Structure formats: structure tokens, C-alpha cells
């Protein structure tokens, strides 16, 4: 895990197309702004886990590849 320190209004860039900006720091909470392409799903971890448990795919997610040996 890469651990970085950032101040308010400083940012982190991931893979040239995702930017995370520290919007606000208040007490023990940090507000982050995330700029990412529409096709990149961005969720809070608890929402991601709920989606994963439910087996629900994002409408923008690519269809899963067929299992090996399965007919199309």
C-alpha cells in the first residue's frame, strides 16, 4: 500500500485519468473529490461491498466473459 500525505487542495493522480483531491479536512474526517472517466465505477467501500454481495453489476460495467467451454 502506498501511503501519501496531502494537504487541502492537493491531489493525487492515478493512471493519467483519475484525480483525487483533498477538498476539506475537518477534525478526523477528510472530504475527497474524485475525477474519473464515466466508465470507471467509483464507490465508497461499504457500497461496493453491498453491490458485490448482491451480485449486481453497474450498468456501465462490461459484461463478464463467458466461462471457458461455455457456448455464446
Q: Quote the CA–CA distance of 62 and 70 in Å, as a whole number.
A: 18
Q: Find all residues with CB under 8 Å of 14, minimum gap 6, and list them.
A: 20
pLDDT, one tens digit per residue, over 19-36 is 999 999 999 999 999 999
Q: Kindly list the domain boundaries of the chain, sorted by start residue.
A: 10-54
- Please give the Cα distance from 58 to 52 (Å, whole number): 10
Report if pTM > 0.75: no
Q: How confident is the model at residue 72 (pLDDT cuts 50, 70, 90)?
A: very low
Amino acid at each position: 500500500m502506498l501511503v501519501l500525505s496531502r494537504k487541502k487542495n492537493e491531489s493525487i493522480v492515478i493512471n493519467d485519468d483519475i484525480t483525487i483531491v483533498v477538498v476539506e479536512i475537518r477534525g478526523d474526517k477528510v472530504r475527497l473529490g474524485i475525477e474519473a472517466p464515466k466508465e470507471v465505477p467509483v464507490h465508497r467501500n461499504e457500497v461496493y461491498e453491498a453491490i458485490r454481495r448482491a451480485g449486481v453489476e453497474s450498468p456501465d460495467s462490461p459484461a463478464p466473459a463467458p466461462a471457458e467451454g461455455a457456448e455464446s
